[in-house]
Amino acid sequence: MLKEFKEFALRGNVLDMAIGIILGASFGKIATSLVNDLLMPPLGLLLGQMNFSNLFFNLSGRDFSTLAEAQAAGAPTLNYGLFLNTVVDFLLVAFAVFLLVRQVNRFRRQQAPPPAPAARDCPFCLMSVPLRAARCGHCTSELKAV
């Protein structure tokens, strides 16, 4: 049973998935830091330090000036401000991830030149033959040197 578990745990796709989860968690931290540390300060300055977290509907009928007061009193509330903050955070994280992936894809395109073709088509039978072949292996036609 231990041998079977070892085979299962060390299978390529299980290891790939584990590595993907670990890197995904780290990438999530990078995206969150990008949003919180780089995008939110200018956005907050632009919007005049707007904070939705204190917006709520009080369902108890009593009057509370802040959400913290209502929660401390145990009053039922609909915290739509916290929901709006979560939606804005999600949109900013999604945008930050988009920017990061876009930049990574741009670097990949610049670094990877297209591979040289290893074969060509015979002009007579249209079968694939090696580039340096002098005769087609299929129809034995003589080919021009490349």
Do 47 and 101 share a domain, yes or no?
A: yes
Domains identified in the chain, total number: 2
Q: What is the pLDDT along the chain (146 residues), one digit of tens a residue?
A: 888 877 776 666 777 787 788 888 888 888 778 777 887 778 777 777 666 777 888 888 888 888 889 889 999 999 888 888 888 888 887 887 788 888 888 887 777 677 888 899 999 899 999 988 889 988 988 888 77
pLDDT tens profile 104-136: 888 877 776 778 888 999 998 999 999 888 899
Do 109 and 84 share a domain, yes or no?
A: yes
Domain membership of residue 130 as a residue range: 115-146
The set of residues, in sequence order, having a beta carbon less than 8 Å from that of 102 and lying 6+ positions away, is: none
- CATH number where 17 lies: 1.10.1200.120
The DSSP secondary structure of 20-64, one letter per residue, reads HHHHHHHHHHHHHHIIIIIIHHHHHHHTTS--GGG--EE-SSS--
Do 91 and 20 share a domain, yes or no?
A: yes
Token pair listed for 104: 């990574």
Do 74 and 132 share a domain, yes or no?
A: no
